[in-house]
Structure 1
Amino acid sequence: MNKFMTTFRHTYLSKVKAKSFIITTIIVMLLIILAGNFDKIMNLFDGSEEVGTIEVEASETFTAQFQAVMSEISDDIDVVDSGGDITLTVEETVPLSATVESDNEVNTAQQTEIEMALDAVNRQMVIESLDLSEEEANLMAAGITIDYDTGAAVTDADTGEIIEIEEPNYLNVVIFYITVFVMFFIVINYASQIGTEIAMEKSSRVIEMIVSSVSPVNHLFAKILAIICVSLTQLFFFVVTIIAVLYLVDIGSLISEFGLEANDRTVPMVVYSLIFLLLGLVLYLSVSALLGSFVSRMEDLQQALLPVTMMSLGGMYLGMFNLFDPGNLLVRITSYFPFFTPFVMPLRVLDPATSHLTVWTGILVILITIAVAVYFAARIYKGSILSTDQGIIKNIKKFNKGE
């Protein structure tokens, strides 16, 4: 155990203290902080100012109507008799023609509110000028109703009734996006690191001295565990930064501004996303160690790790391209393919028809695959650790022969 911990501690500390780890972590943390304060940063470059009062130069009837409408649309702008931040001069009433004068630029949101209020008043004055009845006025103001009856409607197999398809919850979609991109980023980064660690030791023959004091299997497991802990350490800093940003920023108003709301699947989505994120990291790092065990020289490393890159890319694109159709056949099939499961199974959690048993089946599939990958990685590493054969194919043939 002492030798295992020595290898683990050395690998972990060397990676955490590396300049690349520190710089990458700081950059991502800064990006998270910038994203959380995006609205404040944009305001720094926005020369417009918020309007608190507006002075209206028009008839008393128009001013009263505009004041009533404006109070319903905006809580920030008050209509005053004089000395307003901006002046609204009405030149014609039907159709409405007006000029807004201000010493400073009015921000876009408040411009929209003023235009909405003027549009509503204009509609009222047009109705009055045409001397329409109340029923005719209501018909003009009535909205339209459209029902789309398409072949895409889902019907119940037993009753034949049309099943209403729920609109996706966009907060859950955002959680899925973040999970997939973080997983892909860490997999691509640390898969190459663990492969490089193993291949470098074998190519430099340093391993000959190492195996004289520690067993190859313990040495390999210590390195795999150390790299996994390094990736989790970096993920920990990211999560702490996100929590700090959420605590310091009024995230409630920000979320409501984008129309994001939690539902009954938000908590399961967060829990399962974290589970598949961790399992996906362990799976891909274990497979990277397995593939790195076949390599005897650094020139072959990228070729050996190509399957990891292709499978992680495939999993990410499967999730992205089927984001708004999580229940289709392709998603259901690929969610049980071990190397796609960490990316695709969280997508199925978005679908209300997905049961917890289905998700736990995906977790079991990944756990079995991890056990198989670690087992073969240990066997191959132990058998090829002192191999001088050049090329991946020769090492694979040697393993198949049991040499």
Structure 2
Amino acid sequence: MNNGFWTVVGFTAKNKLRGKAFLVTTIIIAVIMSIGINLPYIISQFSGEGKPTAVGYLDSAADKAQSQLFTSTRIVSLLDAYYEAQEKPELKFVPIADAGSADANEQALKQAVSDDLVDGYIGFAPDPESGFPAVTYKSESLMETKVSQSLSTALQAVKMEAVIDSGGISDELKAVLTKPIKLDTVQISTGEGAGSIGNGKSSEQQGMDMATVYVIIFMLFMAIMISGQMIASEITAEKSSRVMEILITSVAPLKAMFGKILGMFLVVLAQLAAYIVVIVVNMTLPQNADTLSGYGISLDLIDPALLVYAILFFLTGFFLFATLFAAVGSIVSRTEDLGQAVLPITMLSLAGFYICIFSGLNSPGSMLIKVSSFIPFFSPYAMVVRLGLSDPPLWQVWLSIAILLASILACGWLSAKIYRAGVLMYGKKPSMKELFKAMRAYR
């Protein structure tokens, strides 16, 4: 490649990186990403999350005098002990004095909610069939799923504890019964002889692989959408302003096309690198780092082989779509017609993205994902999912790469002919017959 090619690469990259629209858009997206990552923490600071929810209950003297196994007083006492044992108690129970009658008690409980003494209150009703009182939680909120789910788990635990205590079981047996069962999930590799990728992974490694797959898929999708539109619009804008006529007198059409593709690739890499830095910085903040460590997510657990293959599929997928966007941009003379022209390519990328998000991440071994991993427009997404969440044979991975590389060469050759013929065709979008005739003239 002579200096003309690198001149186009440098001009394209510098022109975009220095553009105010590009810088403003990058900053706005970075700010939105920062807010999105920290949104749960921001909401918790303003909504009071992190503090236990105050739940009222009727403090009845008559109930305390009863000798039944499951009185409301005893249940609340067990619930208090259950939540106090938590590092960060989810609920706390506030007694409301008995007003003397059912109606008066209900009014007193509602008044406690109105006065912000409690967020809601629980009531108990006899249930002879289950042997445990029916519990009702009442609050002003329409959907209190967080409190109701927490109460349901706690009530099940205290019910079992009360039954165990009443049976006179020893502390040793009680510890055995109440101790949670440990269940680990480990990915195994059954295809070592056939050239398998994975060697078996723990649940923490699997979780990290899934996070890596998510990031790579989203980054590839963003790179294709951002760079594809920029490449096509750049070529169309130069063509509509007649700059293309001056450009091709200095640089051959093919060098101009591939120079623009490489230049835009560098721009997208810079933009994605900025987003990755924003994500990493926000994730290392104390409030987010603690949450990630609680889920066992650590950068040390990233599989190097998965990362290498993911980068390889990222690069090949990018250049496959970039050549197609460049070809389409070269045959469009007006920027207002560009959206409709690039729609089929955009839909191809969207199809691959949605197949993996809605099917691949839940069923990485499904026939749809296996077939998609050999279709060049889908394989950059699908094979990354298979590599991260299952254990495909090595020959399938390299067959997918070979098909993808062959497709890049074929699409690059076709796009080069379309670009060379289309950059100087003005007016309405040329028909297929006119385009083929112009392509033959450049043989």
Q: Paired residue for 2:410? A: 372
Distance 1:193 1:51, change over 3 A: closer
Number of the residue aligned with 2:263: 226
**What's the CA shift for 1:354?**
0.7
CA offset digits 1:72-121 (Å, max 9, x no partner): x41346xxxxxxx9755798xxxxxxx99995769997997788667645
CA, structure 1 residues 315+116, in 2 after alignment: closer, same or farther (shift >3 Å)?
closer
C-alpha distance in structure 2 between counterparts of 1:226 and 1:387, whole Å: 24
Residue aligning to 1:162: none
Shift of 1:124: 4.3
Question: 2:344 matched to 1:304?
Answer: no
Q: CA deviation at 1:170?
A: 4.8
CA distance in 2, matches of 1:184, 1:265: 21
Q: Residues 90 and 402 from structure 1, CA distance in 2 versus in 1: closer, same or farther, beyond 3 angstroms?
A: same
After TM superposition, list the pairs within 5 Å mapping 1:288-367 onto structure 2.
Answer: 288-298=325-335, 300-323=337-360, 324-367=362-405
1:398 aligns with 2:435: no
Which deviates the most, 291-300 or 243-252?
291-300
CA 1:206–1:381 in structure 2 vs 1: closer, same or farther (change >3 Å)? same
Q: Which letter does structure 2 place at the counterpart of 1:292?
A: G
Q: Hey, what's the Cα distance between the residues in 2 that align with 1:314 and 1:113?
A: 39
Contact 1:48/1:105, CA 8 A, preserved across alignment: no
Quick one: which amino acid aligns to residue 220 of structure 1? M
What is the CA distance between 1:36 and its match in structure 2? Answer: 2.6
% identity of equivalent residues: 28
Task: Please point out which of 271, 274, 281 is paired with 1:244.
Answer: 281
CA distance, structure 1, for counterparts of residue 153 and residue 389 of structure 2: 38
**Residue of structure 1 aligned with 2:86, choices 48, 53, 74:** 74
Q: Which residue of 1 is the match for residue 124 of structure 2?
A: none
Deviation track 1:19-68 (CA, whole Å, cap 9, x = no partner) reads 3322221122122212332332111221366369xxxx999x97997776
* Distance of aligned partners of 1:372 and 1:65 in 2 relative to their CA distance in 1, 3 Å threshold: closer
Q: Secondary structure at the match of 2:283?
A: helix
CA separation of 1:117/1:344 partners in 2, compared to 1, >3 Å: closer, same or farther? closer
Between the aligned partners of 1:306 and 1:48, the Cα distance in structure 2 is 44
1: CA distance, partners of 2:366 / 2:93: 55
Indicate the residue corresponding to 1:148 in structure 2.
Answer: none
Q: CA deviation at 1:240?
A: 1.0
Q: Pairwise CA RMSD of aligned residues?
A: 4.6
Alpha-carbon separation, structure 1, partners of 2:402 and 2:249: 37
Q: For the structure 1 residues 40 and 329, does the alpha-carbon distance in structure 2 shift closer, same or farther, using more than 3 Å as the test?
A: closer
Q: CA deviation at 1:315?
A: 0.9
Output aligned runs, 1:67-216, within 5 Å. 69-70=82-83, 73-76=85-88, 120-121=157-158, 123-125=160-162, 132=167, 134=169, 169-216=206-253
Q: Which amino acid aligns with 1:27?
A: I
CA-CA distance at 1:15 after TM superposition? 1.2
Corresponding position of 1:32: 33
**Is the Cα–Cα contact under 8 Å of residues 190 and 285 in structure 1 kept in the other structure?**
yes
Moved more, 373-382 or 335-344: 373-382
The runs of 5 or more residues in structure 2 that have no matched partner are 54-58, 65-72, 99-108, 121-143, 182-190, 192-201
8 Å CA contact 2:208–2:298 kept in 1: the answer is yes
- Normalization by structure 2: what TM-score? 0.66
Equivalent-residue separation in structure 1 for 2:389 and 2:93 (angstroms): 50
Secondary structure of the residue that 1:353 maps to in structure 2?
coil
Q: Measure, in 2, the Cα distance between the counterparts of 1:209 and 1:338.
A: 35
Give the C-alpha shift of residue 10 in structure 1: 2.2
Counterpart AA for 2:348: M
- Give the structure 1 partner of residue 136 of structure 2: none
Task: Please state how far the C-alpha of 1:272 moved relative to its aligned partner.
Answer: 3.0
